[in-house]
Structure 1
């Protein structure tokens, strides 16, 4: 059983990818991090000795603090944050325990640059349907919960990317886009090293819906129908994205926890 100020690897793993996931902060010293430059999905780096700056960023939020072994750095930061009235826990065993459990880790070099507020900035075409909602969902849930998404006319994506130091995605000729018969969602899962049974199952559904190959999975047509419905309900692309996050949360939880469950009607009842 973990100490009262700790969370286990398995407990944290169940939270990652869900709206209930705490803010994840990697406080490994630079020397340790450079020797193993990976991040737990959704986490960001912060100097362990900048408690004031970290406390300002975490105010009114729950946090998990991660260091190399789950010892002095993370537990010291947790104690300081608790003194500041912030709910915080240390990851038991630290990054080493996460790595040894064989769980996904994002290569730090795969992450786009962050702005002055520590956010990644992404830009794509207006009027999203499948990939341009699926990819922001993946980024918000597994890469950068604070990510900013800019939806602009197709001909202005490159210019906006250059002027605003944003990363373009899901357009022709950029790194974060379709590759062969696979969609941008697949590309992001591959490049961020997020392959899990649940995300791979979800990727097949997104791929089939996005490329009109509904034979890939029975759920493809349902995702397409729901996505087209959302696009008719919302004129504002960011409002559509916020609504779409809930839809993708539901599909992900089905992929992770409920794909073997069935339902019938009427329910079981005594024979007359």
Structure 2
């Protein structure tokens, strides 16, 4: 075992399979005690009766690590609060939150139902907010009590949220929301010793296998070393960043920036807007292409 995360306590959501499982195993390998969260449902959100978190905990314990099962619905307010409390009561605190739990309802926008939209936004966006809110409250209280922790949050966005993805309007909107949440949380929570970053991982998982050609895609575990470092005390000077990971390639995303501008010197007339915007567009870099366009 590595000592990079020795003595630290982590929660990893959606950790029963795929990328989340790889994160949980990697954090444990570096010495962290891990709350392995997985709701145990199918891609369609249906109860399967499976308990994949138990298998991951067994793997961690067989390798000499410490872990505990959690089956909370991370988008449920009270269950998320109890998950944070479980980490504190079981392992004596909480230092790392990896928000990874995922959910898809891929449809072209005009075919997306209200129920599908609500379900995706609930799991992906509220499922990031609720654990972050409760963990943040714990870290704020610890800081005010003179026990400030070197806390780390790693959220999970996506290229779909950064550049958009045809056929994934709800998923793209939710993942863009995660990126915005990351920026705000990094600024608000820094005073309590918390860094908040996000990754945009690429990997062959059960979520991607039905939607894309995954033959050349990276493996889930290829993303986890970046998460392990971001979760370490050494990463205290890195916050509010989005890192895209595609196998051996990591990219620091540039995000929205103020670009070309024009000042009319007074209230714009509608007739002048078109020429001004077209001149700005002509002078600006072309946007990244939408996936699937």
Q: TM-score, normalised by structure 1?
A: 0.28
Q: TM-score, normalised by structure 2?
A: 0.26
